[in-house]
Structure 1
Amino acid sequence: MMINIQQIHHVAYRCNDAKETVEWYQDNLNMEFLVAIAEDKVPSTKAPDPYMHVFLDAGQGNILAFFELPNSPAMGKDPNTPEWVQHIAFEVENRDDLLAAKEELEAKGIDVIGVVNHGIIHSIYFFDPNGHRLELTYRDATEEQLKELKRVAPEMVAEWSITKRAPKHAAWLHSEEFE
């Protein structure tokens, strides 16, 4: 039997405060609060560790979840991983929606980086109250661009695994012609 993944059911992150997190995602990204689950012990491990687990609708059947863990040490980040690496990306329909979102977030006092042109997508970046980096993006790739990226992907990974230097097969994504 082969595993047949249908979609990601949810992605879960830790948060500092479940109520603050739910309200922030409702107020700033218009996500619907779906479910809250709280237990005094972890169902999978049976460890006595109370938690609040909240679920938000990220659109199209995608769910973003958070755990508040009051008995665990304060949340931290891997000091060896730059803050731009781990992030959650959400898709909007088009450039107008991205620009409107940027304007709305900035009006609410949220620092926003971008619009960054990645050749096949355009993105803005900002942080939630837990320090998680978020991205809003829209796609504008052509079929030819996507085909070429898929074609060169194995070659790029093979070259990277040997040299640990950025292969140039898709350097056009961030070339000046796209800036």
Structure 2
Amino acid sequence: MTVPFSLSRIHHVAYRCRDAKETVQWYERVLGMRYKTAFSEDHVPSTGAFDPYMHVFLDCGGGNILAFFELPNQPDMGRDENTPEWVQHLAFEVPDFDALMAAKAHIESLGIDVLGPTFHGIFKSIYFFDPNGHRVELACNIGTAEQYAELERLAPVMLEEWSQTKKAPRHADWLHKDPDA
């Protein structure tokens, strides 16, 4: 399917936070993001509703922006209790495995619990939580060009099989065999 336009990148992805200042400081200190800008209004521009907010924007590299809303007049934020906490997460790429391990050491030195590294066939990851309860993943690619091409070739087949059976297609079993295990 073709559409009459093209996307150039993610402009920003927005999540809710409990405290905008704490969130900005955490992402600067833990992940080295740069605080770019903020918007603060009493009325939501798209709806006109009265709902004061602080909207902060952090540069997470590659022209991608991570944003947060602090909404002091709304009920305390929570999470979707029907979705496991491992499902919804923010994933950021680091250049290589050495950078991933340096990140893990840095984050743990700040007293933050880190899970991993976890092997995913074509990348390895670590996981931890931000002060708002959002799960964060750092990942480094380890796959070969041939592996990425094979996964792209298999993607439509796997999706169709999943759609029909709701069972994990095993077309890429090689993904689950960690050579370092």
- Structure 1, unmatched stretches of 5+, are none
Structure 1 length normalisation: TM-score?
Answer: 0.97
Structure 1 ranges of 4+ moved more than 3 A:
176-179
Look up the SS of the partner of 1:40 in the other structure. Answer: strand
2:115 aligned to which of 113, 136, 144? 113
Cα separation, 2, equivalents of 1:174 and 1:17: 39
Q: 2:121–2:176: 8 Å Cα contact kept in structure 1? A: yes
What are the superposed Cα offsets for residues 89-130 of structure 1, whole Å, 9 maximum, x if unpaired?
A: 111111111101100111110000000111110100000000
Residue 16 of structure 1 and its aligned partner are, at CA, apart by 0.3
Cα separation, 2, equivalents of 1:154 and 1:30: 37
Where in structure 2 are the equivalents of 1:1-179 lying within 5 Å? 2-177=4-179, 179=181
Q: 1:90–1:136: 8 Å Cα contact kept in structure 2? A: yes
Q: 2:119–2:178: 8 Å Cα contact kept in structure 1? A: no
What are the superposed Cα offsets for residues 130-155 of structure 1, whole Å, 9 maximum, x if unpaired?
A: 00000001111111101110111111
Q: Which amino acid aligns with 1:24?
A: W
Q: 1:117–1:178: 8 Å Cα contact kept in structure 2? A: no
Q: 1:90–1:135: 8 Å Cα contact kept in structure 2? A: yes
Q: Percent identity?
A: 62
How big is the alpha-carbon RMSD for the aligned residues of Structure 1 and Structure 2?
A: 1.0
Cα separation, 1, equivalents of 2:178 and 2:22: 41
Residue 176 of structure 1 and its aligned partner are, at CA, apart by 4.4
Residue 70 of structure 1 and its aligned partner are, at CA, apart by 0.5
* 1:96 to 1:177, Cα distance in 2 relative to 1, 3 A: closer
What are the superposed Cα offsets for residues 1-22 of structure 1, whole Å, 9 maximum, x if unpaired?
A: 7121001010000000000000
Residue 60 of structure 1 and its aligned partner are, at CA, apart by 1.1
Q: 2:115–2:128: 8 Å Cα contact kept in structure 1? A: yes
Structure 2 length normalisation: TM-score?
Answer: 0.96
Cα separation, 2, equivalents of 1:52 and 1:163: 44
Cα separation, 1, equivalents of 2:14 and 2:165: 34
Cα separation, 1, equivalents of 2:102 and 2:178: 25
